Amino acid sequence: MADKLIIVESPAKANTIKKFLGGSTKVVASMGHIRDLPKSKMGIDIEHDFEPEYINIRGKGDLIKSLKSDAKKAKKVYLATDPDREGEAIAWHLAKILEENKEKITRVTFNEITKTAVQKSIKEPRNIDINTVDAQQARRVLDRIVGYKISPLLWKKVKTGLSAGRVQSVAVKLIVDRENEIESFIPQEYWNIYANLKDDKSKKEFEAKFFGKDGKKQEINSKEQVDEILKNINKAKYIASEIKKGEKKRNPAPPFTTSTMQQEASRKLGFTLKKTMAVAQSLYEGVKISDKGTIGLITYMRTDSTRISEEARLTAKTHIVSTYGEEFYENRYYKTNKDAQDAHEGIRPTYADIEPDDIKNDLSKEQYKLYKLIYNRFMASQMKPAIYDTMTVTIKANDYDFKANGQNLKFKGFMVLYVEGTDDKEEQEEGMLPELQENQEVKLLKINPKQSFTEPPARYTEASLVKALEEKGIGRPSTYSPTITTILERRYIEKEQKQLIPTELGKIVNKLLTENFADIINVEFTAKIENEFDEIAEGKEEWKKMIREFYGPFEKVLEKVEKELEHVQLVDEESDVQCEKCGRMMVYKFGKYGKFLACPGYPDCKNTKAIIETIDVPCPKCGSAVQVRKTKRKRNYYICENNPKSCDYISWNKPKLGEEWNPQEAEDVKKETETAKKSTKSERKSTNKSKRKTTKKN
């Protein structure tokens, strides 16, 4: 009989914890959730005050029996699921299943899986926090009601199998709105004038940019304005009229939150949100390290706080001073966002002395990259700022002003270790300007006017969408990744070279939802709901009261929309392609893999066609049309319309006029497309096999 039974979610976490505890302790995994709402129905009893109808998850019967047996034999049962709302809810469901042992059940959490943290938590158990559980229940129930009530409208009006999620729909709306901004954007002309100048003393050349006239900034919006300025400075002397020298500090970024970790891993490592969270989970739960056994390498990865413990500060100080010197260390505190829950520390390494390169051979490639990112970011957050010497020079040409800026890195500070990425164009490092004197003349080498046009806002990437969701108060650390993964899987959006683009299906679904459920599918409402979940978690609001207040108005809107849409039929857009079987004009439809052409005469005529996109450059090999296709991973490739019959042109790169094709390019594309065909065939075979088995059983 085990004195203690500890139940965690995953076997990896169980293995890490086992080594910190005595032989009389048994550690087992629940393998995630044990109970949930049913998949076959809504599972919310609206007539009886929105009571959820939880059921044991199918396939977990043997595990539940085993957990009950282990709990019966133990003197004390510790529910050690993750330290967030979802983990608290899993602990509550486990307690419900182990109800007969309730007098010996208690709750523990670990922000980091280290010997000290685990042993301390076991000594300080607590009760399950029912307010936190209720906040999770409120989210689950509200999302289930919205999804189950709105989705059938999409089935009737758009396509069967579609679904509407409360947060996911708002994320799609942001992406569609951004696409509409881009499509309606009208570029505005503007000009810059650059003067290439030379200091005769030092022989150094530098560039100055047109600023304005008589000390006032002036925008240049036309060629006529440029010509006027050039005429007025023709043969002018270029005089250094004002020189300002100074010093600029650049401070390090704070330790990672879930959101900033996802953004940086996307920018710097090219990781999807899903991959980042999976790798972070493995680092938190434990990795087998040579000579150390299985240890958790980072603190809990779902957090919106930048706070770090005093113990962690001390370990950071020791490491920085011994590695870089006293002059690089600075004890820093970071303000946590006012809306942050601040239940956990920021994401940091659990052991400051375990440097990424020391354990590179024990980690997978992805684990090493993410661990290094987290480690360096945390260490840099406790370091001195970088210091630059700066210089700004105003150059006079008659009445007009040009400005030149220069900077030189004097002290690297935290930048010896880490520099935060950005979604914007990378800032260019400016070199120092020559040592000019006031009223000194410099030589004009060349005057260079440059026409430009304003650009539309950039499409969202996974990183910038997470940033936008966080700034607008939509979702929480645990929801960003599943939200974006879900709308990609539903094909409401697609990813092209990191950019998120709404599909036609996404636009149609967004239009139907925003036109009919404008009060629910909007940023303000979704942010307000998140705040209400927070209030429930803090014990300030009762969860069923919140659902009641939501459901009354929602039910009225639902009834109104159902009546209004009863006689509305979405008409399929007609194409200019004629059905060769019956002569009707084919229409655009949406399937699992996107847009396709179908005959409107269905079921009499079942003709369908793929939509083939071509480009305006002919095949470099035979001169025929080049088609754009996508691999299974949604990557574009270019192929001759005659491939494979009479031409073997295929490439990842869009062909250019007059460019010769290198047949070697084709091998990699062929490899990926052939692998996709084989996997699709094997998927089809296994599906057919399981169908035959089911038929046989029946």
Catalytic residue list: 300
Q: Amino acid identity of 550?
A: F
Name the DSSP letter for residue 308.
-
**Would you tell me how many other CB atoms lie within 10 Å of the CB of residue 694?**
9
Report helix, strand or coil for 279. Answer: helix
> Which is nearest to 297 in space by CA: 308, 288, 305, 310?
288
Size (the chain), residues: 698
Query: For every residue of 74-124, which 3-state class applies, written as one string?
Result: CCEEEECCCCCHHHHHHHHHHHHHCHHHHHHEEECCCCCCCHHHHHHHHHC
> Which is nearest to 672 in space by CA: 639, 635, 642, 698?
635
Sequence-ordered strand ranges (E) for 332-487: 386-397, 400-411, 440-453
Report helix, strand or coil for 641. Answer: coil
Chain centroid offset of residue 169 CA = 16
Which residue has 């959820």 as its token pair? 52
Name the DSSP letter for residue 350.
S
> Which is nearest to 240 in space by CA: 393, 116, 128, 41?
393
Rounded-to-integer distance, Cα 640 and Cα 651, Å: 9
Backbone φ and ψ for 590, nearest 5 degrees, come out as -125, 125
Query: Helix H segments across 214-272?
Result: 223-233, 258-264
- Whether 214 and 380 have beta carbons less than 8 Å apart is answered as no
Which residue has 């987290």 as its token pair? 374
Name the β-bridge partners of 256.
347
Helix axes 130-157, 166-184, angle to 10 degrees: 60
